[in-house]
Structure 1
Amino acid sequence: MSTRAASYTLVLSAGAGFDEPGIIRHGRGYGLRVDARTRAIQTLRNDPELSPLRRSLDSYYGHPERDTAMDELYAQFVRAGDLVFDVGAHVGDRVGSFRRLGARVVAVEPQPLCVRALRALYVDDDRVTAVEAACGARSGVVELHVNSANPTVSTASSHFLRAADGAGGWEGEVWDSTIEVRCVSLDGLIAEHGEPAFVKIDVEGFEDAVLTGLSRALPALSFEFTTIERPLARRCLDRLVALGFTGFNVALGDDMALTFPGWLSAEAVAAHLDALPHAANSGDVYCVS
């Protein structure tokens, strides 16, 4: 098994993160003017048509300490010049981290409002490609269940809806509409954009379908798990072992840090996930080949 501890430098003329004025320079000569990004975020927050995204924008932007922790986590897997797939990009905070590390990013997101936000945030960045689509087992069309009040948990998985129904911590979540969206596969994305060094998958219970659409091991990827669907996490682990992934670790919630000092077997991580209390809610499994 292998993973790469990338070195990187963030040089800020004022503050840290995208929400402070100044310039970020890193990677191979990459630079973004932060005040333009800040203005774009504020414009999105003030757009009444994008009001469902306001909570996400407030949660994921404007927190320099979180940005720093995120960069340190992903620097273990991403180097300047790498290609990264962000599957379930939502409003692009992880895209921001991958770009701060100097990577080229393909951001896959099916929700029209989120894609609108992504394109507004990265309109000046030719190293970010926004793909308006879900990701699944094969190319085609899927039905997306939309949570208008909390779009971050919109899902293409009917199993996820059943698991969330009545579950502690999910009270009040309502998926109030459905839309048909284009679906792509990881293999299809690789054929079009190249092989990524890292793939982040966060698709609310559709992770196993996404991995079904992958036919090879990659250097590293992560997938989200929830305590309401632990069997899904085990299916994902089984699939990844079959593909040739050999090392596994966990980051709980929004901690931005790996739980274990070394890489574990899939079985050990599955046992760890099974033992978590329901209140742990969610996190990400990191996998290397």
Structure 2
Amino acid sequence: MDQRKRHSLPVRIGDQTFQVTSDDDYLGNLNGTFEPATVELFHTLVRPNDVALDIGANIGCTALLLSQLAGKTICFEPSPSTYALLQSNVENAGAANVVLVNAGLGAKAADLSIAFNPANRSGGFVSDKPVAGHAIEAIKIVHGDEHLKAAFPSTKINFVKIDVEGYELNVLNGLADTLANDRPVVTLELNHWCLNAFQRMSVPDFFDALRAKFPVLYAVGKRGARDLHTPADSYFVMHEHIVKFDFPVIVGAFDESQLGAFLDRYVRNPPAYEEPVPAEVRIAELQAALSQTEQVLATERAARAREQAAAITLARDAAARQQQLQATIDAVHASHSWKVTAPLRAVRNLLN
């Protein structure tokens, strides 16, 4: 595995700033602030006394956000090297209400492997084959319900966040009892690339599986939230996600009463949205503006050239006229009459 040097950066996560450590490019890409859209979404879904699951915790930014919003957070991260960073960041933050588990959740217990680009740990995915340019680590998968019952008996789960790069249904299937008994609010990633490449599943099949689990199901994107139980909205989300990678988050629940603040923010009062200009149209606009600017410059240069030519002609004509006048004066001075009348001019000067 590629050994990369650890580095730390201050990151604003929710209402606090933490010194977060990693060994990839993820922190630099945050530009000092952790996912404002995620922060805003979680503020509408997580309540102060909730017990939350952070499944696919990566290096801990979401855990540190949940440490501020929920009463208790249980984090699951299967990669041993990523877990070490997660543990360091949570301990350094003093987040005493966060519990860490070095395992992934699935439909059954298994010893598998995870692949990730050393430059981006957050994109790690469960894989049974080597992947070029990726680090491979052995991981432990535990059955979700069985682990929670054994390690956290009598604990009701109120909120679940899942970010596992296409492995979402495996996680949900392993939490069938928890979902049925506790009826938590669930957020998970929609990533058609990971679903296709790693699970050989289409987005319509994924939506069908989620609709069977959640009576309330929304996809969240730049234009607010769309109801995935409504065929027209579901089709719209599929198109926008596959073509434009919009609507990257899904929210599932068992009753709309669980989503009061969420519905107010994302359904009843969706954010203002302006359709982005396609790249090819923007390029054409810029090229037209560039051509117009070049025409203006060419016209200006031509006008200046004409002005310079006119000035040169005027100067040349003035010089010729000056030479002509000087020649005439010299001719008068050299004439016989000028010389003959010199005494008269001298007398007149004396009299004056």
Shared fold, TM over 0.5: yes
Q: TM-score normalized by structure 2?
A: 0.57
Partner of 1:13: none
Q: Is the 8 A contact 1:80 1:103 kept in 2?
A: yes
139, 144, 150: which one pairs with 2:114? 144
Q: Is the 8 A contact 1:145 1:177 kept in 2?
A: yes
Equivalent position amino acid for 1:180 in 2: A
Q: 1:89 to 1:271 in 2, by over 3 A?
A: same
Q: 1:251 to 1:242 in 2, by over 3 A?
A: closer
Q: Is the 8 A contact 2:48 2:71 kept in 1?
A: yes
How far did residue 103 of structure 1 move? 3.0
Partner of 2:300: none
Once the two structures are superposed, residues 49-106 of structure 1 have per-residue CA deviations (whole angstroms, 9 ceiling, x without a partner) of x522xx2123347227x44x53331122211121111111112222122122133111
More helix by share: 2
How far did residue 201 of structure 1 move? 0.8
Equivalent position amino acid for 2:245 in 1: A
Q: 1:60 to 1:137 in 2, by over 3 A?
A: farther
Is residue 246 of structure 1 aligned with residue 215 of structure 2?
yes
How far did residue 142 of structure 1 move? 1.5
Equivalent position amino acid for 1:184 in 2: V
Residue aligned with 2:225, SS: coil
Equivalent position amino acid for 2:244 in 1: A
Is residue 185 of structure 1 aligned with residue 143 of structure 2?
yes
Q: Is the 8 A contact 2:192 2:203 kept in 1?
A: no
Partner of 1:154: 124
Q: How many residues align?
A: 229
Partner of 1:286: 251
Q: Is the 8 A contact 2:237 2:247 kept in 1?
A: no
Partner of 2:160: 199
Residue aligned with 1:183, SS: strand
Residue aligned with 1:199, SS: strand
Q: 1:190 to 1:61 in 2, by over 3 A?
A: farther
How far did residue 111 of structure 1 move? 1.9
78-87 vs 274-283, greater mean Cα deviation: 274-283
Q: Could you tell me how far apart the structure 2 residues matched to 1:195 and 1:233 are?
A: 31
Trace 1:204-283 onto structure 2 (pairs within 5 A): 204-215=165-176, 216-217=179-180, 218-228=183-193, 229=195, 231-243=201-213, 245-252=214-221, 258-260=224-226, 263-265=227-229, 267=231, 270-276=234-240, 277-280=242-245, 283=248
Q: 1:235 to 1:137 in 2, by over 3 A?
A: farther
Q: Could you tell me how far apart the structure 1 residues matched to 2:70 and 2:146 are?
A: 24
Partner of 2:324: none
Give percent identity, aligned residues only.
22
Residue aligned with 2:114, SS: strand
For structure 1, the residue ranges without an aligned partner over 5 or more in a row are 1-15, 25-33, 45-49, 162-172
Residue aligned with 1:144, SS: strand
23, 27, 51: which one pairs with 1:51? 23
Partner of 2:344: none
Q: 1:111 to 1:258 in 2, by over 3 A?
A: farther
Equivalent position amino acid for 1:144 in 2: I
Partner of 1:12: none
Once the two structures are superposed, residues 105-151 of structure 1 have per-residue CA deviations (whole angstroms, 9 ceiling, x without a partner) of 11111122321221112113221111111221112311212322222
Residue aligned with 1:204, SS: coil
Q: 1:119 to 1:102 in 2, by over 3 A?
A: same
For structure 2, the residue ranges without an aligned partner over 5 or more in a row are 1-10, 255-352
188-197 vs 117-126, greater mean Cα deviation: 188-197
Q: Is the 8 A contact 1:205 1:232 kept in 2?
A: no
Q: TM-score normalized by structure 1?
A: 0.68
Q: Could you tell me how far apart the structure 2 residues matched to 1:266 and 1:214 are?
A: 26
Q: Is the 8 A contact 1:83 1:105 kept in 2?
A: yes
Q: Which has the higher contact order (CA 8 A, sep 6+)?
A: 1
Q: Is the 8 A contact 1:157 1:206 kept in 2?
A: no
User: Which has the higher Rg, Structure 1 or Structure 2?
Assistant: 2
Partner of 1:166: none
Is residue 122 of structure 1 aligned with residue 90 of structure 2?
yes
